[in-house]
Structure 1
Amino acid sequence: MSFTLATWNINSVRLREGLVARLMQEEGPDILCLQECKSPVDKMPLEGFAALGYAHVVARGQKGYNGVAILSKLPIEEVGAMDFADLGHARHIAGRLENGVVIHNFYVPAGGDVPDRAVNDKFGQKLDYLTGMRDWFRDSRPEKAILVGDLNIAPREDDVWNHKQLLKIVSHTPVEVDHLSAVMAAGGWQDVTRADIPEGQLYSWWSYRAADWDAADKGRRLDHVWATGDIATSAHSSRILRGARGWEQPSDHAPVFATFDL
């Protein structure tokens, strides 16, 4: 069984329904994981996606905020949704394919603007959320699993446009990178994207604040595809669809792809 998976922080699935449809029509991933859907599930435009072949859905929604969905051409059944740090947020959904592979779709809290939990509750919530992920994967170590999503951390020096300038900027601080590394180690996860593209600057997010995001190219790799060690070597053809960041009324994130032969 071979399938291509994409993950994309869509920044409102209702506002950007047309962009999702365009990705489905032009790229045709077998599975599309969305984050920051900003909609209850019953308000998501799922009928239109089903008409494009994505009839199988597992999702958690929330009015105006958060929200995660897995849209699939392949049959998939929901196997859980965790609320780490007890935030009451729709930030995780998991589904199992017929071949037994479990897909985890995450939207990790962004963490606010100040990387200090003493003065910024949101940063503390982010660290607590990551700790919850770590503990869960440590206690129920996953097998035959894929983890994708907007993890809101760019871990490597070449995952940001300027390592030294961003060391004190939320998403690239050492404490966040350490927390993410602990999640990865606890679950035996491997970074599929960087296994395929081991060298060079690589970004999946560019701020709306830049007058010309493409020319400035001050990006960060916040969106990730991981796999457990037992299936990680089956992954290949990783890529980031940078061009989608330039579509009309775009998300500030670009889709990340990987193909698995299982």
Structure 2
Amino acid sequence: MTFSLATWNINSIRLREALVSRLLAEETPDVLCLQECKSPVDKMPLETFAALGYRHVVARGQKGYNGVAILSKLPMVEAGAEDFASLGHARHVAGRLENGITIHNFYIPAGGDVADRAVNEKFGQKLDYLTQMRDWLHQHRPGKSILVGDLNIAPREDDVWDHKKLLKVVSHTPVEVEHLAEVQDAGNWVDITRQDLPEGRLYSWWSYRAADWDGADKGRRLDHVWATRDIAQAGHSSRILRSVRGWDQPSDHAPVFASFDL
């Protein structure tokens, strides 16, 4: 079975209901993972998406903040949710498909503006979240699993518009990159996007602060698709749909796609 998957930080599922519907109608992924839904589950416009064929949903919601959801055309059951760092935030949910593949959808804390936990509590929470995520993966050692989401870290030099200028900027600091690498190693994850597209600059996020985001092109690759090593070779057809960042009233993220033959 071949299925396609996309991950997208939607920055309010209710505000951007039409954009989600457009993506589902035009690109027809079998599974769409959304982050930063900013809505309780009972307020999410799930009936709209069901009418487009996405009748299977697992989600965790929160009023005004955070929130994750997996919409699927394929039968799917919930496979758990974790609250790493005990933040009380809706940042993770997992679903299991009938073929036994578990999909983890994550929204890792952004970390605030200052890369120093001594003066920025949010940065410390981000590091603690990643540490507990790493420890949990060591304990549970996932297999036949896919991890996607807004991980809020651009790990490689070519995942940002200027490596040297961003070394002290939250999302690309060495300590964050090291923590993310430990998470990746703990779960034996393979970066499917970079397996498919190993060379060149890749971005999935462009700041709202840039008047001409497209022309300036000061992006970062914050959104990821990983798979455990036992199924990584089944991943293919990775792409970042940059054009979505230019839609009316867009999210500042673009959706990231991959397909799997499983």
TM-score range, shorter chain: over 0.9
Number of the residue aligned with 1:33: 33
Q: TM-score, normalised by structure 1?
A: 1.00
For 2:87, the aligned partner's letter is L
1:122 paired residue number:
122
CA distance in 2, matches of 1:26, 1:79: 28
List gaps (5 residues or longer) in structure 1. Answer: none
Distance 2:255 2:37 in 1: 14
Within-5 A mapping of 1:1-262? 1-262=1-262
SS in 1 for 2:154: coil
Q: Quick one: distance in 1 between partners of 2:227 and 2:10?
A: 22
User: C-alpha displacement at 1:189, in angstroms?
Assistant: 0.3
Aligned to 2:164, what secondary structure does the other structure show? helix
- Runs of 4+ with >6 A deviation: none
Q: Residue type of the partner of 1:179? A: H
Shift of 1:179: 0.1
What is the CA-CA distance between 1:129 and the residue it aligns to? 0.3
User: How much has 1:111 moved relative to structure 2?
Assistant: 0.1
Aligned pairs, number = 262
Instruction: Give the superposition deviation at 1:124.
Output: 0.1
- Structure 2: which 5+ residue stretches go unaligned? none
Rounded to whole Å, the distance in 1 between the matches of 2:211 and 2:250 is 14
Letter in 1 for 2:231: I
Task: Give how far 1:90 is off.
Answer: 0.1
CA RMSD for the aligned pairs?
Answer: 0.2
1:124 and 1:85 mapped to 2: Cα distance?
10
For residues 172-230 of structure 1, the C-alpha deviation after alignment (integer angstroms, 9 at most, x for no partner) is 00000000000000000000000000000000000000010000000000000000000
Aligned mates of 1:229, 1:210 — CA distance in 2: 38
For 1:62, the aligned partner's letter is Q
- Residue 151 of structure 1 and its aligned partner are, at CA, apart by 0.1
